[in-house]
Every structure is written in structure tokens, then in C-alpha cells.
Amino acid sequence: MQEKLNVVPFVSVDHMMKLVLATGVERFLIELAAYIEEDFRRWECFDKTPRVASHSAEGVIELMPTSDGETYGFKYVNGHPKNTRSGRQTVTAFGVLADVGNGYPMLLTEMTILTALRTAAMSAVAAKYLAPKGARTMAMIGNGAQSEFQAIAFKAILGVDKLRLYDIDPSATARCQENLAGMGFEIVACSTSQEAVEGAEIVTTVTADKQNATILTDNMVGPGIHINAVGGDCPGKTELHRDILLRSDIFVEYPPQTRIEGEIQQLDPDHPVIGLWQVIAGKAPGRSGERQITLFDSVGFAIEDFSALRYVRDRLKDTGLYEELDLLADPDEPRDLFGMILRAAKSAPVALKAGAL
């Protein structure tokens, strides 16, 4: 990308789809996962804060900022489960990457598709350290917009190739199964969540309803299972029975955020959890026994989005899969911002009027 002071590279939804296809979905996920691991190993370099959330009865709108001291990134994201009733996505997002040294944005990109990819990559990274060795069978409860991304990430990064699918809406399971056809999976569509977890070494829960639900009950979770809890990601929204948490070793992204939004909002504020970054950096053990129940209480954290933004920025080079937005004022004299308007007025069809400002 050629650097111009007044333009910012913008990756549209169309460009993002073309970038994913040009890269290959599995390769994209593998490389994105490597960026996440790299940033988690330098976790202590980052500014960290729980995301800034505006909650309503209908959903939530959030900002997720972070910086490593050289580069700043943030994501705008919403979560509105009822949107599907009107043909809209439950989650939409966009993100910005900026230079800390001068404050100028370096990238503006869609992040609806990218968030699904980074969430799946994050799940697989966690399972790499927490799932039973050689696990190949995953139950996936909730077969909505995230499901195919999760499945492909687990296959690409861990070799999971057997899926047991369940959703309260059978058409969602059928669509997921159809979308994954020919991708090397052995897929069983199940009629209940209990049936789905039978024989599974990994259980992924990725439902959308904004409520304290019980997608998994204690009797469904046997020893040695790894649980990838993705759907519970805001106050009042959980998926697991509390008793499961009490039997599990729990791994989280950023505890101050997860205690508000994750499954562990059901537990006492001082209940012990382990930061996943500590495991990735070799400062804490991950899976340590065959009968251990591990739980990745995933809510999504800004550093993961930062990794995704970095990856897209680096992948864009020489692809042309972006457009240049005239987003930044660039006057001939930096202190003469108003002069830009005066010069524009000379060439504009309508004369500048004092009362119009």
C-alpha cells in the first residue's frame, strides 16, 4: 500500500471476502491464529480495559480499544439477537488501526466477517493448549453464523474432522451441514444437545439468545472434555450450568471483562481463573491430566481484534483489495484548516456563505 497522508486504506465486505478467498479460508485462519498467539505472548505490552458497552433490552453496542505502544486499534461491534427476525445480522463490526506516533489511522476495515474468523481462530488457539491430545470429534451446539468458521478453524489447526451438530432450529443445522459439505468433515446432525455431546472430546457452545440459558447441564459433561464456551458474552447471557464451572479448570482472556460478561459471572468474584495468555506464554499449565475438564470462557477481547487488524494490514500488501478513502484533512499548511475550505469554495459551484457554517 502506498502511503498518502490524506487517504486511509478501506477494506469493504466485498474486499474482505475476496481477501479470504484469495488466501484460502484454512490458511487465513492458521495465519491469523499465529498473529493471535504472537500478541498473547507479549500480553503485558498492551493497554487493557474491559470493552465500553452500551446495553439495551434489544442488545449491546461496544467499543474495544487497545494499544501496544506503537500501534492502536479498536473495534466497534454490536450484538442484537433479534436482528435475524428482520433479516439482519446479530453481530456487525468495523475496526481501525492507527499509528500511535502521529495518531493517523492506517486501516479502516469491515469486521463482521473478520470477527467471525478471529473468534474461530481464538477458539482453536485455546483448544490447542487445553483440549485432549489428538481430539478429533467436536459437538457444536448452536449452528448459526459462527458455526462454519469454528468448524473450519478446529479442522485447520487441530485436525478435528468429526462434527456433531445441534440447534433448536433444524434448518440452521441443515444449512451448516450443507455449507461444510466437501470440506473433509464427517457430520452427524443431532436431535438434542444431549445426543450431540455423546462421544465428543470438545464441546463448542455458540448460541445467540441474550439470556441466562442452560445449553449444557452438569450430567452432560464427562471427565476429560474441553468446553469452548463462545455464546455467553455479555451480562445476563450465559450457556452453562453453574455446576459445570465448579468442576472445571477455567481459562479466560481478560478476567475483569470476563467476570462481567462470561460464564464466570455466575461465580463468586474471587473464584480462581487462569489467563489464557499465561498458558500460551509458558507461565501457567494448560491441560495437565486426562480426566481434567477444561473450559475456555470466551467473550472476545480487544487484543484479538488488534491481531486480526494487524494481519489484514499485512495481507493487503500488493493485493489491491482495498480502496483509498479521503478521510483525513491535509491542508497545505497544517495550521490553516479553514484555508482548505476557502480554496475549495473557489472551485465549488456554490459560493461560501458565512451563515452556512
Tell me which of 167, 233, 297, 305 is the catalytic residue: 233
Active site residue 233: yes
Assess contact for 204 and 221: CB atoms under 8 A: no
Q: How far apart are CA 47 and CA 64, in angstroms?
A: 11
- Going by C-alpha positions, the residue among 300, 309, 239 that lies closest to residue 51 is 300
Q: Between 302-316 and 112-130, two packed helices, what is the crossing angle to 10 degrees? A: 110
| CB neighbour list of residue 84: distance below 8 Å, 6 or more residues apart | 90, 208
Q: What are phi and psi of 42, to 5 degrees?
A: -110, 35
- Per DSSP (E only), the strands in the chain are 7-11, 52-55, 60-67, 71-79, 93-99, 105-110, 137-141, 162-166, 186-189, 202-205, 212-216, 226-229, 238-240, 249-252, 274-275, 294-297, 323-326
Instruction: Output the nine-digit C-alpha cell for 177.
Output: 451441514
Cα four-point dihedral sign 17, 42, 78, 237: positive
Give CA angle at 9 (35, 317), nearest 5°.
Answer: 55
CB 55 within 8 A of CB 234: yes
**DSSP helix/strand/coil, 62:** strand
Would you name the residues annotated as active-site residues? 233
